[in-house]
Amino acid sequence: MRIVRRPAAQDDIDALWSYTARHDIAAADRVVDRIVHATERLRLFPRSGRDHDDWQPGLRSVPASPYIVFYRVSADRIEIVRVLHGARDVPIMTGLD
């Protein structure tokens, strides 16, 4: 199954790397590695993440501490929608569509 990042998700990853790298480049790389590892595991178990149908139909998430990877599964791909810090008030976040 193919993994695709929406532009907003790639922007999230770029922004979190840039913010963290200001203090510690190695730490920024480790955070991004955790996110990549979490998304790659979805190839084997695409529906293993938490269901968020109460927010939006088909929306799921997996942790990549301290971030949360939001995604959707279709017949041929896993679409990474957003990557947000776990401390954010996610239900009111826009751009999860």
For 38-90, write each residue's pLDDT tens digit.
999 999 999 989 998 888 889 999 999 899 999 999 999 999 999 998 877 66
pLDDT for position 65: 86
What global pTM score does this model have?
A: 0.89
Residue 36, pLDDT > 80, answer yes
CA–CA distance, 46 with 76 (Å, rounded to integer): 11
Residue 97, pLDDT > 70, answer no
Query: Do 36 and 17 meet the contact criterion of CB atoms below 8 Å apart?
Result: no
Rounded to 5 degrees, what angle do the CA atoms 59, 90, 41 make?
45
CATH of domain 2-88: 3.30.2310.20
